[in-house]
Structure 1
Amino acid sequence: MISRDRIAALRATEEDRFAELHPRSAELADKARGPLLAGVPMPWMTRWPGRFPLFFESASGARLTDVDGLEYVDLCLGDTGAMTGHGLPQVADAIAARARTGITTMLPSADAVWVGEELARRFGLPSWQLAMSATDANRFVLRFARHLTGRPRIAVMDWCYHGTVDETLAVLDGDRVVPRPGALGPQVPVAETTAVVPFNDLDALDRRLAEGDVACLLMEPALTNIGIVLPDPGYLDGVREVTRRHDVLLVIDETHTLCAGPGGATAAWGLEPDFVVVGKPIGGGIPCAAYGMSAAVADRLSGPMLGHEIDVAGVGGTLTGNALALAAIKATLSSFLREEDFAVAIPLAERFTDGVAGVIAEHGLPWHVQRLGCRAEYWFCPPPRDGAAAAAAVDEELEGLLHLWCLNRGVLLTPFHNMALFSPHHTADDVDRHTEVFGEAIRALL
């Protein structure tokens, strides 16, 4: 129904508009091309729409202001890293106070006890450890799983994402396990380390785990990085039954699915994992993560964790669990990501879903909008049931235009997909602004 020529023509017009609106960002982008590889601090920052990167000046609550003085409704929120909102006074005060009294000493601070107790209360797993990122936490948990089971492989869902862990950058090509497109320099053929199964396919999971070489299944309870793919009714209960029957540890990565509630999908859906990993949202923007484990797993790990050579076990790092991160986590979890915060954010995501669905229905498009807690996302197809179908549905030309169209009108979406994330700082007017802009884009396309 949508002409590719029309998409290209509108994209060219919007690129010109972007350049006119952002002369200061253009100047900084030009200067950055020399000292910074790809002109940005991290290569994925090139994924934003526009001819050059947008440089930001400040962010507060649900708003972001760029270096040209333009303000945006921020529906990206640092791709979940600022899920609580930006510039939180409680976190800023805690960070400033901690910085003046020592940031890192290789010793625990009193905040560590509070953080461990609060994570146990939220997620229902009794024992916790800290990490610098969810990537690190996942790496450590995979190492623990191989140690506890004596099995060499881990299993993941097709088209999953768990940070930059080598073993997880794998997809299925027919029956073969191959590197995920875009993965650079795998240290070994990924099929040697990893089994991959489709999401929402219990039979495939059962068959693969029956081979007896898998230590753990690492999964999100709903796929998020390839777009939101929700579990079928009963699927997650089936996953737990299959993993237990094959003596495979179940690891739930809640870094993005924390949007389901204060204890993520683990608490909201009554899951019973052996490990839980939670990352960037819990520190209010300070790099940190945590991983929890069941009492049975903690008991089995207590010996190795107290061993004389634990410092060379491949787990941890000098800055891991530093006092600054712990202060930030305590300030964040005591002030945000609470039931009352989700009671504001989730209805906003519902309003977003209804607004986008209304535009789609108005124009008779075969599209869909999906929601998970306070996160929502629209698809240019009916809702996929697995990662491969989601990947096949990606329309980079159309997606790129819609992202740029929204950005040029003061609405910032997550750059990697059509995702909007809501915090208690957003308002109904923010949601309605996106619905208005989205509707304008579709009318221009048709």
Structure 2
Amino acid sequence: MTASGISETAVEAFVARERQCFLEQNPKSVALAERARHSLYGGVPMHWMADWSTPCPLFVERAKGARFYDVDGHEYIDFCLGDTGSMFGHSPAPIAKALAEQGDNGLTTMLPGEDAVIAGELLAERFGLPYWQVATTATDANRFVVRWSRAITQRKVLLVFDGCYHGTVDDVMVRCRDGETVHRAGLIGQAYDLTEHSRSIPFNDVAALEAALAQGDVAALLCEPAMTNIGMVLPAPGFMQQCRELTRKYGSLLIIDETHTISTDIGGCTRLWNLDPDFFVVGKPIAGGVPCSVFGCSAAMADAMHIAQQRAHEPGRDASASGHGHSGMGTTLSANALAMHCMRANLEQVMTQAAYDHMLPLAKRLAGGLRHLIGKHQLNWSVTELGARCEFQFCAEPPKTGAEAEAAFHDSLQMALHLYLINRGILITPFHNMTLCCPDTCAADVDRLITTLDQALGELLAMPVARE
């Protein structure tokens, strides 16, 4: 018997049937997978595209709104939405128009245009921080903000929560094990000890937070206001406010990464919960799915950044390492004209209050449906909600830490359920059981997901020795 309450024997039989079903239904994807194996490492352009529950990659032909279509002609309701990259639907009309407009007017020049000014003003108005910079991915933005934080505070240690996700920033690739910071499992090619300048502590643990900050060497706490990658973990009441109070008390900065949690509200958790960060980061959905990210800072941080720049030019420092071009921040395609035009269109016409007013009630409807299924099938599972997203987890109570969320993982069961949904035209986020509603999602889509998952559980639990 597994921790989820369903036997592994039943899961194995269930998934074997579904794998065969997938192979029979998707001959063109199977053929493309075989062809790709000879030119793409692992048969995919990015290795994690092979980590889905399907026996071979599912190849997509096109996507629009809340739906995508595979090369075999099947239609899917998409509750993954590019893991938030297409949070407002695939190819929203204003973004498609912006792409066409800018496509004939230059893609990248290394110079700003009016779109950049307007986008900066819109970001400041929406998120409450006055100054902004633009990067290409949230990984880039987080790397740059960490560098700024170390320069401002003249401290080296970055503090993160166990199980965090902030892209592929080297400094965050650590975990907390028995109170000690260790390298994340499976970390490839790591050449130096990350634990020298990174520290990991449990989420929602105020005592551990203060103990870590009290050492006086923490440049910044980098965190999501709610954890979203190790399974969703919500902050305890008042915990994020304590993060703000304690970072100030011990002279550390607070960086809020809302790349995923921006689904909560038009101003993110930052405005909704009045978090008042020193730096704010948001990535993949900010330009409607076009690669782009931003980070904002307070006026005090802008002044501190200027002082840090002056410090870098002090006599005696290596002249070859000074100047903006050698700061370790920025890439040639950062803030390119195409991304800026799309970000402006997204902020003005797509990422609107009306969009959130549509998405949030649908996610609540979905969460209620998931709870009904859990009760109907007498499962010791739970549901966590955060704005337009929700997740069912294989534990009786919503987890409070990354370790608790990880302990509830049941990979084989999760992948079996995902594959069942895919075979019936529904996609949810891989790696865990998270869903996201977009402005093109409708109540019928939500109900279809609930009905299909109900069927999956009924069939699985009806198998021999499903419950031992």
User: By how many angstroms is 1:121 displaced?
Assistant: 0.9
Distance 1:202 1:15 in 2: 45
* Aligned mate of 2:419, from 400, 404, 415: 404
Name the residue aligned to 2:380. Answer: 366
Asked whether the 8 Å contact 1:261–1:337 carries over to 2, the reply is: no
2:459 equivalent to 1:444? yes
Letter in 1 for 2:201: V
Name the residue aligned to 1:432. Answer: 447
* Aligned mate of 2:254, from 250, 253, 264: 250
User: By how many angstroms is 1:293 displaced?
Assistant: 0.3
Distance 2:419 2:61 in 1: 19
Residue segments in structure 1 that go unaligned for 5+ positions in a row? none
Name the residue aligned to 2:353. Answer: 339
Name the residue aligned to 1:228. Answer: 232
Point out the more displaced range, 177-186 or 383-392.
177-186
Letter in 2 for 1:216: A
Asked whether the 8 Å contact 1:220–1:252 carries over to 2, the reply is: yes
2:381 equivalent to 1:377? no
2:294 equivalent to 1:290? yes
Asked whether the 8 Å contact 1:261–1:268 carries over to 2, the reply is: yes
SS of the equivalent of 1:282 reads coil
- Number of aligned residues: 446
Name the residue aligned to 2:14. Answer: 10
* Aligned mate of 2:331, from 302, 317, 322: 317
Aligned residue runs from structure 1 range 26-175, under 5 A: 26-175=30-179
SS of the equivalent of 2:158 reads strand
SS of the equivalent of 1:212 reads coil
Distance 1:93 1:157 in 2: 40
Asked whether the 8 Å contact 1:132–1:287 carries over to 2, the reply is: yes
Q: Deviations over 1:107-160 (max 9, x none)?
A: 001100111111111110000000000000000000000000111110000010
Q: Deviations over 1:4-40 (max 9, x none)?
A: 1110001000000000111000000000011100100
Identity %: 48
Letter in 2 for 1:115: A
Distance 1:293 1:440 in 2: 48
User: By how many angstroms is 1:305 displaced?
Assistant: 5.5
Letter in 1 for 2:132: W
Asked whether the 8 Å contact 1:138–1:277 carries over to 2, the reply is: yes
Letter in 2 for 1:92: A
Q: Deviations over 1:380-417 (max 9, x none)?
A: 10211000111111100110101001101111011121
Distance 1:366 1:229 in 2: 17
Letter in 2 for 1:46: A
Name the residue aligned to 2:406. Answer: 391
Distance 1:3 1:154 in 2: 42
Distance 1:179 1:42 in 2: 23
Distance 1:58 1:394 in 2: 32
Q: Deviations over 1:257-303 (max 9, x none)?
A: 00011111101111110000000001111100000001100111135
Name the residue aligned to 1:353. Answer: 367
* Aligned mate of 1:299, from 295, 299, 303: 303
Asked whether the 8 Å contact 1:159–1:180 carries over to 2, the reply is: no
Distance 2:118 2:329 in 1: 22
Asked whether the 8 Å contact 2:159–2:221 carries over to 1, the reply is: yes
Distance 2:9 2:131 in 1: 56
Distance 1:187 1:331 in 2: 42
Distance 1:138 1:256 in 2: 14
**Cα 1:304–1:152, aligned 2, differ >3 Å: closer, same or farther?**
closer
Distance 1:434 1:417 in 2: 16
Distance 1:100 1:303 in 2: 40
Name the residue aligned to 2:465. Answer: none
User: By how many angstroms is 1:92 displaced?
Assistant: 1.3
Q: What is the RMSD computed on CA atoms of the aligned residues?
A: 1.1
**Cα 1:63–1:231, aligned 2, differ >3 Å: closer, same or farther?**
same
Asked whether the 8 Å contact 1:304–1:310 carries over to 2, the reply is: no
Aligned residue runs from structure 1 range 208-227, under 5 A: 208-227=212-231
Asked whether the 8 Å contact 1:167–1:190 carries over to 2, the reply is: yes
Asked whether the 8 Å contact 1:259–1:372 carries over to 2, the reply is: yes
Letter in 2 for 1:436: T
Distance 1:416 1:263 in 2: 27
Letter in 2 for 1:331: A
User: By how many angstroms is 1:370 displaced?
Assistant: 0.8
* Aligned mate of 1:420, from 422, 425, 435: 435
Distance 2:74 2:405 in 1: 34
User: By how many angstroms is 1:178 displaced?
Assistant: 1.1
Distance 1:278 1:372 in 2: 16
Q: Deviations over 1:73-117 (max 9, x none)?
A: 000000000001012221111112112111111100110011111
Distance 2:252 2:115 in 1: 33
Letter in 2 for 1:373: G
Distance 1:126 1:11 in 2: 51
2:327 equivalent to 1:327? no
SS of the equivalent of 2:430 reads coil
2:259 equivalent to 1:279? no
